[in-house]
Amino acid sequence: MADYLYAMASTEEERGLCLLEMRCLLGADGRYNLIGSREEVEPGRSPFIKNRIRVLLESDELAELAELAGAGVELDGRTFKVSAIDNDDPEEQGRFDYTLKRELEREVGFRIRGRAEMRSPELEFGFARFGGRWLFGELERGNTDWMKHRDQPRQYSTALSNRVARSIVNIAVPRRAGVRAIDPCCGIGTVLLEAMSLGVDIVGRDVNPLAVLGARENLAYYGYGSPSSVTLGDMREVEERYDVAIIDMPYNLCSVLSDSEKTEMMRSARRFASRAVVVTIEEMDSFIREAGFEIRDRCAVNKGNRFSRQVLVCE
């Protein structure tokens, strides 16, 4: 069984992005809202992780799980709360209405010796039906501190949202230790901002001097990076090697690329990075493969009825 149980929440438009991120972060796929994994990922890292249970106990029956919790949970004088987590998989029968949810929480909580506190507990536990069994453990809820980045001083209408950018960073850099990343078409720096807030070692570059100034201003506003973190120049001139490149292909009336320019961009990326995550609203498969990359995974992210972005994981 899984060491951790993650509860996800996403819109239908971003469902594919959510699942792609989980495949990269957790090494697991899922059709519904719960995903089990042996990987430990802090819930606040992903915009889609609602909460996480560190699994301590499991049982076929809830009554037995409650007994195990009563015998095994040590509070050391701290207050606690127990929460039932829904499973949307109809085969699990693990989704509960309000009344049943409170009854199940009482059934488990009453077995734990200590003082319950519903509003501000010092410890929170969760349990859920998953994989045909009941799982119980320490519950940690995700935070949305990253949402403050939506107020960045420099904005651009076609830029990635902070939510999508954060997810793409996690797809590109699921393991941060020792990884050097580059965003060679960084625009106003939305990807850079999310990456730096997650502790990713990343630099940015752009051919547009106004974009470079905007990216620097956005990073400085939140206390990240330095002027040297974002340089002015064409990605085809990058000489250093990086582990991964995040490339949001330029698109607007002033950034129409020819086929030869797309090919050159992908060949440049292949030269300075062994892995790339490409975001595009145009077909890029042939240019990516021509450059020597293989597309390992992908998803679509829709933006209303206006257009659809493709996110391509390339190695």
Q: Are 211 and 254 in contact (CB under 8 A)?
A: no
| Res. 157: pLDDT tops 80 | no
Q: What CATH number is attached to the domain comprising 242?
A: 3.40.50.150
pLDDT per position as a tens digit, 44-68: 999 999 999 999 999 999 999 999 9
CA triplet 249, 250, 256: central angle to 5 degrees? 120
CA triplet 149, 155, 159: central angle to 5 degrees? 90
Give kind and range of the element (H or E) at residue 35. Answer: strand 34-37
Of 59, 62, 58, 39, nearest to 49 by C-alpha is 39
Structural domain ending residue among the three candidates 141, 165, 185:
141
Q: Are residues 58 and 95 in the same domain?
A: yes
* Residue indicated by tokens 């453990």: 137
Phi then psi dihedrals of residue 168, to 5 deg? -65, -35
Q: Are residues 161 and 304 in the same domain?
A: yes
Q: Are 206 and 195 in contact (CB under 8 A)?
A: no
Domain limits for position 237: 145-314
Total structural domains within the chain: 2
Structural domain ending residue among the three candidates 91, 122, 141:
141
- State the alpha helices, DSSP H only, in the chain: 15-26, 62-72, 98-109, 162-172, 190-197, 209-221, 259-272, 285-290
| Res. 253: pLDDT tops 50 | no
Average pLDDT for 87-102: 95
Tokens found for residue 281: 């609203």
Question: pLDDT band at 250, cuts 50/70/90?
Answer: confident
**Amino acid 304: pLDDT:** 67
Structural domain ending residue among the three candidates 141, 175, 203:
141
